[in-house]
Structure 1
Amino acid sequence: MLTSLTRGTTKRRWKHAPAFFLILVVILIQLFDWSVIQLPRERIDGLIYDLKVKRLPPWPESVTNIQIVDIDEYSLAAVGRMPWSREHFANLTSKLSQLGAIVISFDVLFAEPQHNPAEAVLSQPEVSAKFDSAMLNSIQAQFNYDQHFADAITTTDVILPTLFHRELDTSSGLALQIGALDSQGVLQTQPDLPLTIPTYPGFAGVLPKFAPVARGQGFMNSFEDADGFIRQVALLAQVNGKVYPSLALETFRVYSLVDHLIPQWEALQGKAYLTGLSVGDQFIATDNESKIYIPYRGTKRTFPYTSAANVLLDEINDNRFDQAVVFIGSSATGLADLRSTPVELGFPGVEIQATIFDALITPSEIPYQPEWWREAMLLQLLAIGLLCFLFFPNRTPGVTTGLSVLFLSGVIGLNLLLWFGMSIYLPLFSPLLLTVLLSSYFISRGFFFENKKRRQVKAVFDQYVPPAHIDRILQDPESVNLSGEKKELSVMFSDIRSFTSISESMQAEELKLWLNQFFSPITRVILEHDGTIDKYVGDMVMAFWGAPLDEPKHASKSIAAAFSMLEQLTILNHTFAQRQQPLAQIGIGINTGEMNVGDMGSDFRRSYTVIGDAVNLGSRLEGLTKFYGVDILVSEYTQQQASDYHFCLVDRVKVKGKVKPVTIYAPLAKQVTEKMLEQNLQFNLAIESYFAQEFYAALTILKQLDDFSNPHLLTMYFQRIEHFVANPPPSDWDGSFTHTSK
């Protein structure tokens, strides 16, 4: 009897052991940073945070005139592709100062010197002998654009950016440290203990010539969450034992006319923890890593934008820059400064800096995560568990469901009250998870016991039905895959032929202008045909079709763009001839296939690009255009998808690095004559006979093509056929020609 009672008491004591287990699991998920649970937890908390940040209370009207000068696509077209000469930045700084700007903050790195084009010319004895030393110095000074920029910086308060990194020199194994760093903006009060703020061994500072004349320096590093979104920013970081400010913080210090930022440290358990920092009589609360949450005002272009070209071309006729704090950066797609943020993908990095600066003006309104947030989360989870045990047991499923909705509303309401009322950010995922799991457990348990009572089945242990598991807590169908995706695309490579000879015949400045004249219309044509510019490498242009937006006719559009590029080249060469400049000839290779496309790169520079074997084949095809005497070569995969074009069958080849042969074609322009189409058809029949080892039939057809548009191809196949007639190929010959070079 006593044993029976003891067993009954024990069973009653442990009847809700699964609920206790759920509480323990959720507490462990929240408090421990194990990678297996940390990443999904932070991802879901990040999504919830994104929903909240889009609904921040109205931010106080800024008392500062904040302007953004944007190196946009219009600027690149009007002034030239990046990197710009320092002369442009000198002019930009001087003109903004004249227009009334009081602080100018650059989100453009100036770590390395710009080559003085006059030095190479004047170093030649036959040239330098024509001038005296004063004249030589005067000429070199005229083209010393770094000095011009340094002189322009002195006209107003300018903040220059630095970039911290962990990159090592491959030869020495030491951290790369380029340029100069200035830590005078931060009072170095940290104790001789390990700091909890971000620490870097390397940096790209500013050119030593700029450091003395700049009003301040700040690092421009972005701090992405595990899902690639920028929700927080570090205001301080450490390099070589010294603490440095972020770009926005240093801009705020200069604007506030404060000599030093004063970090507030607290020594605890052998480490120095940051509690915040003082800027004059204002205190900015941060977490231990010096991070604050970015209170985005809205989507991009919340702040007024002005194209850099408008400033450089003196097109500003109003007082928008009067007493303004100006941030200079880029929103151009190809310059890799577009970020993923809670409010919008492709958010310009320069506007993130402006947003942080604006928030620092009113630090009390910045959402922050207090240092006691972990204790608060633990207390909240325990309170949820206690309330569920008080109200949920022995209730019907319907009542438990109603109470669950009430509890969920209370958890969300408390979190939003702290957010909107006190600007305190606490994670919401774990409280929601615990409430849902406990609710599910008690609702499931209620259904189980109601069903057991209705059927009058004795309660025995082996008939116990466990609570239903929740398979999915949150879903985000619009989530962005930053790791990329595999898609069928068309890629194009275009290269200037004999570019080495052209470059050797021109001075550096002339070559730069000549390339700018070449790239501008070529780029415009690609964009007009819905292409995506991947990169410029020397004289080569790489573009692709079908991403980021789906394009069913990507093969046809890439070919149409290629023909338009040739048309623009004809017009461009006419201009070059009038100016007695070298003419340009290009080869274009196009391939279609599966490629990996996405945002790829390193922590320091990223780009939206494509990679894969299909991309490499496109590059090889471009290299073969000169061999076959054609302007455009496409693969059989592109030819199959561009049914609105006629093609000339050029060859079956094995390119370097490939074993499987690929049939290649030269597309025909849509305005070709009927006679040209007929001749092309006969030529294609001849080449097919050639592939089938019917050499005499192929030779008979080729001899009838007296007016064929590509005599180089005719000659090449005459020579091949004569060789194979004298030296027949093996029986398993597949008709391919092997190219051993790129």
Structure 2
Amino acid sequence: MLRRLRQACAKYWGRWLLALVLTGVAASQVVGMLPGEWVGRLDLFFYDLRMRVVKAELDPRIVIVDIDEKSIAEIGRWPWSRDVVAEMVRQMTQTYQAQSVGFDVVFAEPDTSSGYTRLEELAKGELKDVPQFTRQLQSLKPQMDYDARLAEALKGQPVVMGYNLSNEAGAIAKGQLPAPAFTVADLGGRRLDVTHWRAYGANLPQLQQAARSGGFFNPLPDEDGLIRAVPLVAQVGDNFYESLALATARVALNGKRIKPVFLQNDAVLSDEQLRDYGALDSIAVDVKPDPLFIPVERHLTTLVTYRGRGGPAGGAFRYVPAVDVIRGRVPHDQLDGRIMLVGTTVPGLNDLRATPVSPVYPGVEVHANLIASIIDGDFKQRPEFALGYDMVQILVIGLVLGILLPMLGPLMSILLTVAAGAGIGAFNFWLYNAGGLVLPLATALLLIAALFVCNLGWGYLFEYRNRKAIVNLFGEYVAPELVAEMAANPESYNMEGEIRELTVMFSDVRGFTTISEGLQPNELREYINLYLTAMSEDIRGNRGTLDKYIGDAVMAFWGAPLELPDHAARAVATALKMQQTTIALNQEFVKRNWPPLKIGIGLNTGSMRVGDMGSRIRKAYTVMGDAVNLSSRLESITKVYGVGVLVGQATRDAAPGFAYRELDRVRVKGKNEPVPIFEPLAPDSELDAGLRADVEQWHAALVALRAQRWDDAERAILALQEKSAHGLYALYLERIARYRTDPPPADWDGVTTFDTK
């Protein structure tokens, strides 16, 4: 385990260090040590995306009474006379029994459309001496004073008048504000982080006094111009006022007032902290049976949860034309007992806002969304632990991906990166939907992308050359899958010479001279190409290393450059496979009237030097040593014994899973020590019972021969020859005949000596 850990550290330390640096950079950005404006913009993008992917569902509790093009076409251009508005109020509050009505419009100027004001001026001027005119005017006042008619319609009804706050240079206070929600004196010395306004454009005093309440409708756009949060409370002078949405929701819920709620653990807060925004917990709406608490953020704002793309087609709220309400044409089941907001979707009336879900979102629907959140107590919050959460996810991502990505291949790296990004995003989205938590996501996703890209770049810049070198070095020798396996750890392979135990093979075509004389040059070329291709595929298909072609001969070895504990068994299995492939090739050659193919294969196992060898002009990755030479000698004497494959004692011992027939003990040229040689027949578990019996009988004959019991040996071999005309039997019958006439010396060891290669 420790060895593997040390190897991993040696191999991946560079990329692990890079991952640590990237994680440190991400953590520094989270805590504000690095500029992060663009990261904040990206987090806003993900925040917006959360709302865009949520399908809108119609909220039947809130209805938008829309001053739309249809209404303007029937009634006339806006603003309408106050008697029309008064009729609309009466219809909404009395006919349709609205829970509350919020006006997203301001009635700041007196309505003179009836001419009553001019008549009053006449009654006080030129016609002041005409009592009949004055009396008649007084009788007409209820019908012609449209502002009074609207004020009368508002009295006692759950109507909230909207107004606008301003900090523009030169702005003045106009109209009358509603009664404040609370004052500076009510705070007990605490300060609130709230928006301050100098001026306002409010409704006529008689209208505001008649209405139940009032609320401002100023949004607070973010730096990119989108409205994501709306202030619930604003300060004008020493007074604090409700927003239109808050006031409308409060009236609908029969709430009497609102008040700020401060944290209860005052004992652990300093006096300075008590006066700070950090001590504020929420805004409470005094409703029965239990108060409703609205969490607030900086500037006493709350995030708007947009429920659709906005407008009549947005799907979140029902829109009804104002003219249909005035004329009583809306079915009662669509309007009775609803919260109603009066606004406009006509582009020319300038009440369209840029929001995360649409660049042209009706302003009145911003209030509708906030009212729905207040009623449901469903608010999205950026919790105080957001920074800690972000830091934890950064560290986890840096640790997990930083360690794993360097150890994985390209495909698995892509899958892990996608899974990590999708997992973090899905968890973030789940927290948003299930818990209403708006948590940072951008830095985590950027770190995931940075770790992936840097690992990819590292692999390309620093490892690609190593892998390409491996392919260039070994691509001609070993199978592509072995090259890929080696390329995964290029530092473990090189062409430097080393001593290693391997199994080496030599294969040669029998009678190639005769074959070449019987074929045309083009036929011979195709003949040898087919043969060499088939043999090479068998070798490489069993993880062998193709060394070289020597004319019609093939040299290969197993166990280098890739270590193979079972190199001997693979070599023996390959030799048997090559003999089967030869049979299949001969079927094709016979069809072409080509000479049949017969090959001899010699295998030997032992220590040998392997590596890049040659001259400064040309080198090759090959093997050298006595074990290699013996393999070549074994191949050359296969024809003597009439067998296709010969292996040495070391190969037989290293590959015990096969059935072997011992052929002889030989002393090849250049070797003084005798070597037992064997013919591999098949995997031991697959050997035919009859052939197994013949092998045992042959081994008994060999024992008799070495004991110089010529008659016993001859009888056994003759019995075998009756079953099969194997060239081995004829060879030994000939030897027995020679030994009878020319007996071997007394110290004969049963070894056959070969004086030629």
Q: Normalised by the size of structure 1, how large is the TM-score?
A: 0.54
Secondary structure in 1 matching 2:306:
coil
Output the CA distance in 1 between the equivalents of 2:456 and 2:188.
54
Quote the offset at 1:220 in angstroms. 0.7
Partner amino acid, structure 2, of 1:85: S
Aligned residue among 206, 209, 212 for 1:212: 209
Residues 101-140 of structure 1: matches in 2 within 5 Å? 101-115=98-112, 117-124=115-122, 125-132=125-132, 133-139=134-140
Quote the offset at 1:331 in angstroms. 0.8
Aligned position for 1:322:
336
Aligned residue among 326, 331, 348 for 1:334: 348
Aligned position for 1:612:
none
Tell me if structure 2 keeps the 8 A contact 1:121–1:127: no
Aligned position for 1:82:
78
Partner amino acid, structure 1, of 2:126: E
Aligned position for 2:197:
200
Aligned position for 2:463:
450
| Inter-CA distance 201–18: structure 2 relative to 1 (3 Å threshold) | farther
Secondary structure in 2 matching 1:162:
strand
Quote the offset at 1:176 in angstroms. 2.5
Quote the offset at 1:395 in angstroms. 4.2
CA displacement, residues 264-305 of structure 1 (integer Å, 9 cap, x when unaligned): 235764523332222232222232333333223323333222
Bigger Cα displacement from structure 2, 139-148 vs 442-451: 139-148
Larger Cα-atom Rg = 2
CA displacement, residues 645-702 of structure 1 (integer Å, 9 cap, x when unaligned): xxxxxxxxxxxxxxxxxxxxxxxxxxxxxxxxxxxxxxxxxxxxxxxxxxxxxxxxxx
Output the CA distance in 2 between the equivalents of 1:77 and 1:259.
39
Aligned residue among 236, 256, 260 for 1:259: 256
Aligned position for 2:325:
311
Output the CA distance in 1 between the equivalents of 2:27 and 2:200.
39
Residues 574-593 of structure 1: matches in 2 within 5 Å? none
Aligned position for 1:287:
297
| Inter-CA distance 312–328: structure 2 relative to 1 (3 Å threshold) | same
Secondary structure in 2 matching 1:276:
strand
Partner amino acid, structure 1, of 2:276: K
Output the CA distance in 2 between the equivalents of 1:12 and 1:315.
75
Residues 1:435 and 2:465 are matched in the alignment: no
Output the CA distance in 2 between the equivalents of 1:195 and 1:102.
31
Tell me if structure 2 keeps the 8 A contact 1:103–1:158: yes
Secondary structure in 2 matching 1:379:
helix
Secondary structure in 1 matching 2:207:
coil
Quote the offset at 1:202 in angstroms. 2.3
Aligned position for 1:651:
none
Partner amino acid, structure 2, of 1:223: L
| Inter-CA distance 321–403: structure 2 relative to 1 (3 Å threshold) | closer
Residues 1:380 and 2:402 are matched in the alignment: no
Quote the offset at 1:108 in angstroms. 0.6
Residues 42-53 of structure 1: matches in 2 within 5 Å? 42-53=40-51
Aligned position for 2:91:
95
Unpaired runs of at least 5, structure 1:
1-8, 170-174, 458-742
Quote the offset at 1:344 in angstroms. 3.3
Tell me if structure 2 keeps the 8 A contact 1:94–1:155: no
Aligned position for 2:53:
55
Quote the offset at 1:376 in angstroms. 1.8
Output the CA distance in 2 between the equivalents of 1:158 and 1:422.
33
| Inter-CA distance 402–11: structure 2 relative to 1 (3 Å threshold) | closer
Tell me if structure 2 keeps the 8 A contact 1:298–1:343: yes
Quote the offset at 1:255 in angstroms. 1.1
Output the CA distance in 2 between the equivalents of 1:31 and 1:166.
33
Tell me if structure 2 keeps the 8 A contact 1:57–1:420: no
Quote the offset at 1:15 in angstroms. 7.0
Secondary structure in 2 matching 1:427:
coil
Output the CA distance in 1 between the equivalents of 2:441 and 2:330.
48
Output the CA distance in 2 between the equivalents of 1:389 and 1:381.
11
Tell me if structure 2 keeps the 8 A contact 1:218–1:247: yes
Quote the offset at 1:158 in angstroms. 0.5
Aligned position for 2:166:
165
Residues 1:390 and 2:390 are matched in the alignment: no
Quote the offset at 1:199 in angstroms. 2.6
Tell me if structure 1 keeps the 8 A contact 2:181–2:239: no
CA displacement, residues 229-274 of structure 1 (integer Å, 9 cap, x when unaligned): 3232222222223322211111111111111112223576452333
Percent sequence identity over aligned pairs: 29
Quote the offset at 1:330 in angstroms. 0.6
Aligned position for 1:649:
none
Partner amino acid, structure 2, of 1:354: A
Aligned position for 1:69:
65
Output the CA distance in 2 between the equivalents of 1:168 and 1:345.
28
Quote the offset at 1:47 in angstroms. 2.8
Tell me if structure 1 keeps the 8 A contact 2:119–2:137: no
Quote the offset at 1:216 in angstroms. 1.1
Q: Which runs of 4+ in 1 moved over 6 A?
A: 9-15
Aligned residue among 262, 274, 283 for 1:277: 283
Quote the offset at 1:123 in angstroms. 2.5
Quote the offset at 1:28 in angstroms. 4.8
Residues 1:360 and 2:374 are matched in the alignment: yes
Tell me if structure 2 keeps the 8 A contact 1:183–1:243: no
Tell me if structure 2 keeps the 8 A contact 1:328–1:350: yes
Residues 523-534 of structure 1: matches in 2 within 5 Å? none
Output the CA distance in 1 between the equivalents of 2:403 and 2:188.
49
Secondary structure in 2 matching 1:209:
helix
Quote the offset at 1:93 in angstroms. 0.6
| Inter-CA distance 360–312: structure 2 relative to 1 (3 Å threshold) | same
Quote the offset at 1:29 in angstroms. 4.4
Partner amino acid, structure 2, of 1:276: S
| Inter-CA distance 31–151: structure 2 relative to 1 (3 Å threshold) | farther
Residues 486-505 of structure 1: matches in 2 within 5 Å? none
Secondary structure in 1 matching 2:372:
helix
Quote the offset at 1:107 in angstroms. 0.7
Residues 1:408 and 2:432 are matched in the alignment: no
Output the CA distance in 2 between the equivalents of 1:369 and 1:289.
14
Partner amino acid, structure 2, of 1:212: Q
Output the CA distance in 1 between the equivalents of 2:169 and 2:103.
26
| Inter-CA distance 197–382: structure 2 relative to 1 (3 Å threshold) | farther
Aligned position for 1:235:
232
Output the CA distance in 2 between the equivalents of 1:394 and 1:293.
43
Secondary structure in 1 matching 2:382:
coil
Aligned position for 1:145:
146
Tell me if structure 2 keeps the 8 A contact 1:68–1:303: yes
Tell me if structure 2 keeps the 8 A contact 1:69–1:326: yes
CA displacement, residues 554-612 of structure 1 (integer Å, 9 cap, x when unaligned): xxxxxxxxxxxxxxxxxxxxxxxxxxxxxxxxxxxxxxxxxxxxxxxxxxxxxxxxxxx
Output the CA distance in 1 between the equivalents of 2:468 and 2:337.
81
CA displacement, residues 327-352 of structure 1 (integer Å, 9 cap, x when unaligned): 11111121111223333342222122
Aligned position for 1:23:
23
Output the CA distance in 1 between the equivalents of 2:408 and 2:10.
22
Output the CA distance in 2 between the equivalents of 1:228 and 1:418.
26
| Inter-CA distance 166–429: structure 2 relative to 1 (3 Å threshold) | same
Quote the offset at 1:163 in angstroms. 1.3
Q: Normalised by the size of structure 2, how large is the TM-score?
A: 0.53
Quote the offset at 1:187 in angstroms. 7.7
Quote the offset at 1:122 in angstroms. 4.1
| Inter-CA distance 304–452: structure 2 relative to 1 (3 Å threshold) | same
Residues 463-612 of structure 1: matches in 2 within 5 Å? none
Aligned residue among 174, 181, 196 for 1:178: 174
Secondary structure in 1 matching 2:168:
coil
Aligned position for 2:362:
348
Aligned position for 1:518:
none
